[in-house]
Structure 1
Amino acid sequence: MDQELEEYDIFTGIYEYNHLEKLRKDDNVGLGVESYCEQLGLKYKEYTQYIVKLCKHFVNFSELYNVLGRISGNNKHKACGIINYWINSDIRDINNQILDLDFYSSLTEKINSNLNITGCSLNLRKIKNEEFDNLKTLYELYNHFYKMNGKIKTTPTSNTCEHYCTHQKNCINVYNTNIEKCFNYRNSKFCKELQNFSDKFISDNTCKPCQYIDKLKPLPPRVESDTVFSDGPAPAREINQHTLQSELHSTNNEKSIIIPTVLCVMGAIFFFLIILYKFTPLGTWLRLRIQRKKIVSDNICEETFNEFTNSEYNQFNYQNSEFNIQYHSVLNS
């Protein structure tokens, strides 16, 4: 998982934004805003109509926000993150790769001229795909939780808990599907926010416990491969890897020194023996010894050969003489 740039706790008070979210689809704007949005849309010819509509929605929303905003002081600082998420969600229907920095900076400046948000500074930007998917998951979780919990508390009726278990089941399904991501990234912002949601969900007692539905899966146990998203010291596993790489590098360096040294020594010994053999009395003595041994060996071979030849010749004569005696014996009879 890449470094996380977004804030993941922006949806904890989503019920306070529920009435505002409906307003961001209103494109009834004045002439000044309409002219601005048309100029912005002309930069992206293939998507001009869509960009103009998107621009109208959010500039109009920024004007209504100050009038109709009823967000508590505790959650106003999350408004900027939610607005940026809404814009990124709406442009998912087009090729958002064409939207350059000028699009975000221009729209940021226009909306900021209307907004009066205390506690945060709106800075529209493209959210990376992986982070957007994680934020979308959290948005779905808290939206279901609000339907399960918030609406029941704010608008109690005689059948208050009728749909409680349905929304609770939706929460559990979304949560259990995504908690699997935390096997390798337990310390990520996303997984920490899943844990925060789990704590709120488990402690809810708005209605009686639901039967025949699954439970929330626990956060996976901590493993060595956990990635820490902080500026603190590197994990022990990374340190061990660095140490191992250093040792391997050191071993390779030693091998690269030892092998040439051994070859040089062997070459020097071989050259020294050649000098002794050719240019010293020791070499002369060795050559004489070798020649004498060769002469003796040749003599032995010659004598052996002669003896073998004589033996065969004698055997042949013996056989002939035996045959001649038998032949004469027959004639005399």
Structure 2
Amino acid sequence: MLCIYKIVTLFKIRITIIRKEKFLKGLPKYELYKELDGKDEISKYSSFCSYLRTQNNRYEGINELCYIFAKNLITLPEILKNEPDYKERCRYITFWIHDQIRKKYSIQVNSKDEGNNIIRKFYVVLNKIYGERKHNNCFYAYQSDSNMNIWKQWKDLYDFIKNYDAIKESLTSNPELCKIYPTYLSYIEGIYKNYKTECCSNNGTTCPFTTEFRDWCNNSEFLNSLTCNATEDITRDFRNEATLAGSIQELGIRGPISATDLQSEHYYGTHGEMLMNKSDYYIKLAVGFSLLSIFSTVFFLYKFTTFGTWMRSKVLKQKINVNLDEDSQNLIEHELNNVDKNIYNDGYNITYNAS
């Protein structure tokens, strides 16, 4: 059952990613990330990455990623010339590099030590460029409590808010997007609730840009209801059950995002009735077929093979009694309660220094 739960969780993660991309793909502000992927003349910046020359065997492609990162930092005003605000440009490149690390080294960053090891390497490069005054206005102070899952959540919130007006326009012209918008918004609501906790007070430890990321603490207009068409008004409110995992610290402790982290896959229609999202249908269908397949296989083996004959003979000959003492039972419960928990948290403090 645990295996099936993990399959369902991964399926929900994939559904959420697909939905997010449907809304953001092609939007001008979201497409700015592609400008940071350019590889033209990156070898000119290799001197800033000498620290990583021996690491390519361990982390495939890390040298090339470092060259691109160095080029982006030094020529950022030119590369992101369509974004006039230097603070926004810094946010773009900061989210970009963490997302690149998360995607390219997904296995390694699941380990707290490995993830921190990779991030520290790029921090050294950043310090070197910053120290040489290579037209770089972006600087962040590294902290060891890092978690790439949390960085992804912050990026998703940032992308939603930055592209909110364009998303709103697309809803009026695309009925298909209108249908899946409630689930997407519910996902963003959960992240925003954590944002309020982490970034709008002095107690948070994982806010990515410290005081420079409080723009939306007193402004949540992007969570207001949106009208998809003349007859359908999508309304949403904060619901306790629609959070990612309580607090962002809990997210970090639990590690990989669980099914509840991705929010409920249901939403309410204009008359209050609950409508089942298509992804729930397919998930339940997949689980049903999986269980049916397992049951059918076991039944066939039991009834029509020598395995079944052997099993029946064993059952008839002896009766197995399994007794668990109290200590053993408590141990099992303890282990089950601690399945899939990874203890790591994320946090960065970002400082911007104007030219």
**TM-score after normalising by structure 1:** 0.44
Higher helix share: 1
Relative contact order, higher structure (CA 8 A, sep 6+):
2
Please say which structure displays the higher CA radius of gyration: 1
**TM-score after normalising by structure 2:** 0.42
